[in-house]
Amino acid sequence: MFIRLAIVTAMCIMMALATSSLAAADPESGPVPVTDDAAPLPPDGAVPSEAPSIYHAPDGWTLTVGASGETQLPVPPLTTAVSSREYLVGATFTGSVRGPGNSDVIGGTFEVGYQVGCTVTFDRIKLLGEAGIGASGSTLGGLVPTGVAFPIRGSMEVALKPGEVLNVPVDKKAFKGKDTQITVRNIHVKLDGCVGQSFLRSYAVLTSSTDTTDDIASYYGLTKIV
Superfamily of chain region 53-119+163-225: Porin MspA (Ig-like beta-sandwich domain) (2.60.40.1650)
What is the domain partition of the chain in residue ranges?
53-119+163-225, 123-161
pTM of the model: 0.67
pLDDT at 126: 55
Q: What is the pLDDT of residue 6?
A: 46
User: In DSSP terms, which residues pair with 26 in a beta bridge?
Assistant: none
Those residues with Cβ within 8 angstroms of residue 140's Cβ, 6 or more apart along the chain or in another chain: 146
**pLDDT by 10s per residue, the chain, length 226:** 444 444 445 555 555 554 555 444 444 445 555 555 556 667 788 999 999 999 999 999 999 999 999 999 999 988 888 888 899 999 999 999 999 988 899 999 999 999 998 888 766 655 555 555 555 555 555 555 555 565 555 565 656 677 788 899 999 999 999 999 999 999 999 888 888 788 999 999 999 999 999 999 999 999 988 7
- The residues, any chain, with a CB within 8 Å of residue 189's CB and separated by 6 or more, are 86, 87, 89, 114, 116, 168, 200
